[in-house]
Structure 1
Amino acid sequence: MGRRKSIDPQQLLDAAERVVAQMGAARLTLDAVAAEAGVSKASVVYDFQSKAGLIQAVVERAVARDNAFNREAAKGFNQDALLRGRIAAAAQPFPEAFQPVALALCAAMAQDPQLRAPIQHNQAQILAEIQQQATHPRSALLAYLALEGMKLLESLDYVQWPAAQRQQLLQDIGALIETPPR
């Protein structure tokens, strides 16, 4: 009796990201992901049940990775740590290889409230934690909005700041945290 080959769900998600980058989320198929991963379609269905489940898992993994990256960057700060960590993490621009995936996922999320739910929940948690930690909550909120606006413009490929200007913008956003509101 043969033993079932163990397939790492993370490898399937990597394959799904490659397919999304090449074809877009709307044209992603379980067959294409299976072919990209070198497994059977049944293996993909077993782990993710459907195309929607697979895309949902890709979004959730992207959120988890982003949170882990930002939390790691926050370890060096005491005051306003979460927000300062997110600014420090932003010093490393969005990975170029993930940009087509991000754009395709944004397009898919625009049409599917269920796909937006993990992002909405994550943003609510981040905003609550930033406000809770903040020395000046309104200033921290403005800094977070500026940071996320800058990152969104970059991730949607609307603006690519030169390195020196990008660094200055991040410093200016960091200074907002310390500015008491009027």
Structure 2
Amino acid sequence: MGRRRAIDQDGVLDAAERVVARNGAANLTVEAVAKEAGITKASVLYDHKSKQALIEAVVDRAFRRDDALHAQCEATVESEADLAIKGRLLAAAEPPAEEFRAAALNLSAALTLDPSLRKKMQESQASVVSRLLETSTSPRGALLAYLALEGLKFLEHLDFHHFPLEERSRLLREIHGLSQTLPREVELP
């Protein structure tokens, strides 16, 4: 009897990301992922019991990658003050890679439409906001800076707008400055 070939799970998830980028999460099929990975449908289903489980695995891996990137960036920050926002700014220093944008766009749609995936995103964002507030010398400034940074990333990741690199760098510096401020409340017009 022959030995079962070990399936590279990162390779399966890479293939799933490519399918999501090309076809959208709603159009992802186990068959398409298997074909993209060069394996059988049964091999995909062995570890990911359904299309939904496969999408969840892709999303979970994206969250782990994001967490690891921010932890890596925070590790390079010299001061503990404002650690979380500084790490986020460092992680955003480069615009998203072209091949990542399509997957980000299509996964965002899945996160929006699926209640269980949306809950994961809500929990992730709650954790980020809590960490920002805990590690900042100006919690309100850091929160406003985070909102500005996420707005910039939203425009780029969803391919709505791209700033020239020089302007983008300036915006990131200004967002960092915002994180250091003590905003005052003003009345809305």
How far apart are the structure 1 equivalents of 2:143 and 2:18? 35
3-state SS of the aligned residue for 2:174?
A: helix
Deviation at 1:41, TM superposition (A): 0.6
Counterpart for residue 31 of structure 1 = 31
The C-alpha deviation readout for 1:44-92, integer Å capped at 9, x for no partner, is 1111100000001111111111111121111122211111011011011
User: Which stretches of structure 1, 4 residues or more, deviate above 2 A after TM superposition?
Assistant: none
Q: CA separation in 2, counterparts of 1:168 and 1:102?
A: 24
Match of 1:135 in 2: 137
Give CA deviations for 1:134-156 in whole Å, capped at 9, x if unaligned.
11111110011110111011111
Matching residue of 1:165 = 167
Q: TM-score, normalised by structure 2?
A: 0.93
What runs of 5+ residues in structure 1 fail to find an aligned partner? none
Residue number in structure 1 paired with 2:148: 146
Identity %: 51
**Structure 2 Cα separation of the partners of residues 112 and 80 of structure 1:** 33
Shift of 1:181: 2.9
Q: Please tell me whether the aligned partners of residues 149 and 175 of structure 2 are also in contact (alpha carbons under 8 angstroms).
A: yes
What pairs with 1:26-175 in structure 2 (closer than 5 Å)?
26-77=26-77, 78=79, 79-175=81-177
Question: 1:113 is matched by which residue type in structure 2?
Answer: P
Note the C-alpha offset of 1:96: 1.0
CA contact (8 A) 2:140 2:183 kept: yes
For residues 63 and 115 of structure 1, the distance between their equivalents in structure 2, rounded to whole angstroms, comes to 11
Aligned partner of residue 25 in structure 2, secondary structure:
coil
Residue type at the aligned position of 2:5: K
Gaps in structure 2 of 5+ consecutive residues = 185-189
User: After superposition, what is the alpha-carbon deviation per residue over 1:2-28, rounded to whole angstroms, capped at 9, x for unaligned?
Assistant: 211110111100000111111111111
The alignment's TM-score, normalised by the length of structure 1, stands at 0.96
Letter in 1 for 2:63: V
What is the alpha-carbon root mean square deviation over aligned residues?
Answer: 1.0
In 1, the alpha carbon distance for the partners of 2:135 and 2:112 equals 31
Aligned pairs, number: 182
Which amino acid is the alignment partner of residue 2 of structure 2? Answer: G
